[in-house]
Amino acid sequence: MFRNQYDTDVTTWSPTGRLFQVEYAMEAVKQGSAAIGLRSRSHVVLACVNKAQSELSSHQRKIFKVDDHIGVAIAGLTADGRVLSRYMRSESINHSFTYESPLPVGRLVVHLADKAQVCTQRSWKRPYGVGLLVGGLDESGAHLYYNCPSGNYFEYQAFAIGSRSQAAKTYLERRFESFGDSSREDLIKDAILAVRETLQGETLKSSLCTVAILGVDEPFHFLDQEAIQKVIDTFEKVPEEEEGEGEAGEGEAEAAAAAPAEQGGGGAGDVAPMEM
């Protein structure tokens, strides 16, 4: 599909100044299942869509724990993401052993970006086909970074990667100004709502998403399915109840209007259906 004479290896530049294999790796991120991250001043929430290859298989993990204060969500080739998360875990352990203090999130992200950049400069290597949302908490506060296969990294208030992520980005762009002051519960709710935007009409269930959170005095951990379902129920049942109330109100109004017409007048007995 993308075949041309300038994509045989990663070190060959095209006449337009492009490295096609790097672009192909970035395209692999877009084809992966969606991953979402958002942060407040005290918490970071990571969420992803659980996508199975077939009805007979289980989904692959897309969120990994690096340390008590760092987690990562991936989109793209899961195998590459697993290798990079293991590298991040090793770097964090080595830093803690050497300096007896947690590894700053920004420093880990720079190490990860340098590792990805080397793969764009060696003809015998290929770029990692995975994008990583790195969320963490250190002395300077909560952080959320996106590491690109090209070796670039960016810090965000909220971001989404993977397939159908544009719908989630649109939702996050409407809401991101309030994330800084959001409570833990509101941040989780916004993350799940952003996940719902990527499903495009498919009913959201707790089995379709994974949510993890870390924050001040709260080590990185995954939310269980029951907690996720309770959050989903808070915004899935409200529209149904409002719709049911609206239909009931219309039915009462029609009954009240029909009663005087059938009885040929408006007496005291005609008012009873309106009061029920």
Q: What is the pLDDT of residue 166?
A: 95
52: confidence class by pLDDT, cuts 50, 70, 90: confident
Average pLDDT score over residue span 69-81: 97
Q: What is the pLDDT of residue 77?
A: 95
Res. 11: pLDDT tops 60: yes
Q: Of 271, 231, 170, 233, nearest to 45 (Cα)?
A: 231
- The fraction of the chain above a pLDDT of 70, given in percent, is 84
Span of 4-18, 79-93, 145-159, 209-223 with lowest mean pLDDT: 4-18
238: confidence class by pLDDT, cuts 50, 70, 90: low
254: confidence class by pLDDT, cuts 50, 70, 90: low
Q: What is the pLDDT of residue 236?
A: 74
51: confidence class by pLDDT, cuts 50, 70, 90: confident
Q: What is the pLDDT of residue 270?
A: 45
pLDDT tens digits for 130-163? 999 999 999 999 999 999 999 999 999 999 999 9
Average pLDDT score over residue span 177-197: 94
Q: Using CA atoms, how far apart are residues 19 and 93, in angstroms rounded to an integer? A: 34
Average pLDDT score over residue span 177-195: 94
Q: What is the pLDDT of residue 31?
A: 94
Rounded to the nearest 10 degrees, how much is the dihedral formed by the CA atoms of 248, 250, 252, 256? 180
Contact 11, 121 (CB under 8 A): yes
**Chain Cα centroid distance, residue 148:** 16
Res. 265: pLDDT tops 60: no
What would the DSSP string read from start to end of the chain?
----TT-SSTTPPPTTS--HHHHHHHHHHHHSPPEEEEE-SSEEEEEEE---SSTTSPPPP-EEEEETTEEEEEEE-HHHHHHHHHHHHHHHHHHHHHHSSPPPHHHHHHHHHHHHHHTTS-TT-----EEEEEEEEETTEEEEEEE-TTS-EEE-SEEEESTTHHHHHHHHHHHGGGGGG--HHHHHHHHHHHHHHHHTTSPP-GGGEEEEEEETTEEEEEPPHHHHHHHHHHHHHHHHHHHHHHHHHHHHHHHHHHHHHHHTS--GGGGHHHH-
Average pLDDT score over residue span 221-247: 76
Res. 241: pLDDT tops 60: no
Res. 264: pLDDT tops 60: no
Better pLDDT: 158 or 6: 158
Res. 262: pLDDT tops 50: no
pTM: 0.83
Residues near 85 by Cβ (< 8 Å), separated by ≥ 6? 64, 66, 72, 74, 132
Mean pLDDT score of the chain, rounded to an integer? 87
Res. 268: pLDDT tops 50: no
Average pLDDT score over residue span 118-139: 96
Q: What is the pLDDT of residue 159?
A: 98
